[in-house]
């Protein structure tokens, strides 16, 4: 399913707007909320997989570097020719990366 068909699913637009209104203002993300999140991240000990599209026009790929710095056990995968919705735009590759990540956890590689 392409991202445009996905956006037309029943309730998709309402869910998107509700999410955005809950976290954004005209000035972007509130600095105090960002600060709280960034302060908490180094204490997260769970392994994490971050997948980002290099051509993401909503959240630039440089944001992934911040996560790389803040999360102690993160693996960052940046997909070329992919935008903001890699689970739709690059679904097959994303699924492969997730399965490899999980397999690494099963073998202790993610510890």
Q: Which helix (H) or strand (E) holds 75?
A: strand 74-79
Q: Of 76, 84, 88, 97, which one is the catalytic site residue?
A: 84
C-alpha distance from residue 68 to each of 10, 41, 72 (Å):
35, 10, 8
Residue 95 annotated in active site: no
Positions annotated as catalytic residues are 84
């Amino acid at each position: 399913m392409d991202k445009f068909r996905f956006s037309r699913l029943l309730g998709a637009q309402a869910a998107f707007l509700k999410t955005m209104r809950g976290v954004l203002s005209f000035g972007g993300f509130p600095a105090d909320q960002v600060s709280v999140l960034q302060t908490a991240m180094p204490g997260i000990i769970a392994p994490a997989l971050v997948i980002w599209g290099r051509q993401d026009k909503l959240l630039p790929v440089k944001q992934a570097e911040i996560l790389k710095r803040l999360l102690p056990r993160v693996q960052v995968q940046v997909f070329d020719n992919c935008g903001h919705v890699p689970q739709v735009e690059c679904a097959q590759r994303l699924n492969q990366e997730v399965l490899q990540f999980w397999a690494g956890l099963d073998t202790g590689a993610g510890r």
